[in-house]
């Protein structure tokens, strides 16, 4: 028969003895293990748009549609160019017919439902173009809301969509404040710009960057201090779109104006 004193002693011994090996256990985060084996991600892709240089030719939109097989006539696009015309009465007139694919040759502004608004040259205070594309946010709301994890961020910072896994609920489209997502007209799953991931991972530039004759679009690696794009981002006054949503966009703009949506 064991007495109380020995029982307590032996129990404490047992607990102490068990605790020692238990302390050796640690819950591993698989990503942490991966990071231990190799260097931290060599690349973090970022984009730089110089709106001062954009002339609204639309070659980037054209090149993107062809490269990424978005049906040419479909009214959706991975990248687009917006035209801003600010008149003397302080109003801003914005349009992007066909995503700016065919350039902005006419002076009139598209106002939807097939209607246009004529704007006289002498009424214009300022006018400029703003190219748009996926911001590859560091805190992407689209990745957060996907119910099946079909959209995800890669280690080098690009948000991708798995066409074989997407259920087509559209929650990511709703969750994106920038309106970059849409349903692919052929595959019927969520679709968006991915910085031409198939090209940049092979050392090429994106289709839109290659198509831009004015150097308004540039892609770079923010983890490389010697990268000319990184030099501009860290030394010059750059802005981002819709900072208030806390998405931490990775597309940087030069020469943005307060009218830009």
φ, ψ for residue 80, nearest 5 deg: -150, 165
Count residues near other proteins (CB under 8 A).
49
**x/- letters, 165..204, toward other proteins (CB under 8 A):** xxxxxxx-xxxxxxxxxxx-x--xx---------------
CB of 13 to other proteins, least distance (A): 42
Residues 6+ apart with CB under 8 A from 175: 141, 142, 144, 145
Residue with Cβ nearer other proteins (95 or 224): 95
- The strand ranges marked E within 108-186 are 109-112, 115-117, 124-132, 151-153, 159-161, 182-183
Residues 6+ apart with CB under 8 A from 44: 156, 157, 221, 222, 223, 250
Stretch that binds other proteins, among 11-19, 24-32, 147-155, 218-226 (CB under 8 A): 147-155
φ, ψ for residue 207, nearest 5 deg: -60, -40
Chain centre distance of CA 236: 21
| Selected binder of other proteins within 58, 131, 141, 157 (CB under 8 A) | 141
**x/- letters, 94..133, toward other proteins (CB under 8 A):** xxx-xx-----------xxx------------------x-
Both structure tokens of 236: 């010059």
Q: What is the 3-state secondary structure (H, E, C) of 72-91?
A: CCCCCCCCEEEEEEEECCCC
Residue with Cβ nearer other proteins (26 or 244): 244
Contact between 57 and 213 under an 8 Å Cβ cutoff? The reply is yes
CB of 83 to other proteins, least distance (A): 10
Sole residue written with tokens 């050392």:
203
Chain centre distance of CA 5: 67
Residue with Cβ nearer other proteins (31 or 37): 31
Stretch that binds other proteins, among 14-22, 43-51, 70-78, 118-126 (CB under 8 A): 70-78
Residues 205-234 that bind other proteins (CB under 8 A): none
Stretch that binds other proteins, among 26-34, 118-126, 162-170, 208-216 (CB under 8 A): 162-170
**Angstrom distance (rounded) from CA 82 to CA 261:** 10
Stretch that binds other proteins, among 28-36, 38-46, 140-148, 204-212 (CB under 8 A): 140-148
Query: Quick check: 144 binds other proteins (CB under 8 A)?
Result: yes
Binding residues (CB under 8 A) for other proteins: these are 74-77, 80, 82, 92, 94-96, 98-99, 111-113, 132, 141, 143-149, 165-171, 173-183, 185, 188-189, 244-246, 261
């Amino acid at each position: 028969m064991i007495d109380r004193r020995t029982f307590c002693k032996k129990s404490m011994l047992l607990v102490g003895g068990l605790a020692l090996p238990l302390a050796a256990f640690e819950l591993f985060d698989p990503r942490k293990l991966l990071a231990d084996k190799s260097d931290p991600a060599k690349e973090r892709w970022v984009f730089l748009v110089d709106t001062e240089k954009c002339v609204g030719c639309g070659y980037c939109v054209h090149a993107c549609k062809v490269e990424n097989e978005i049906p040419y006539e479909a009214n959706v696009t991975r990248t687009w160019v917006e035209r801003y015309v600010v008149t003397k009465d302080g109003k801003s007139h914005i349009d992007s017919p066909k995503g700016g694919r065919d350039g902005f040759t006419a002076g009139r502004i598209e106002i939807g439902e097939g209607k246009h608004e004529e704007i006289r040259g002498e009424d214009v205070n300022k006018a400029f173009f703003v190219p748009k594309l996926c911001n590859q946010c560091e805190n992407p709301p689209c990745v957060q809301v996907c119910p099946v994890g079909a959209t995800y961020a890669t280690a080098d910072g690009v948000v991708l969509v798995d066409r074989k896994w997407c259920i087509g609920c559209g929650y990511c489209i709703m969750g994106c404040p920038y309106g970059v997502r849409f349903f692919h007209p052929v595959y019927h799953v969520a679709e968006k710009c991915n910085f031409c991931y198939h090209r940049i991972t092979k050392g090429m530039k994106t289709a839109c960057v290659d198509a831009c004759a004015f150097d308004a679009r540039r892609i770079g690696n923010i983890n490389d201090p010697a990268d000319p794009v990184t030099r501009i981002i860290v030394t010059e006054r750059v802005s981002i779109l819709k900072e208030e949503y806390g998405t931490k966009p990775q597309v940087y703009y030069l020469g943005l104006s307060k009218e830009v949506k």
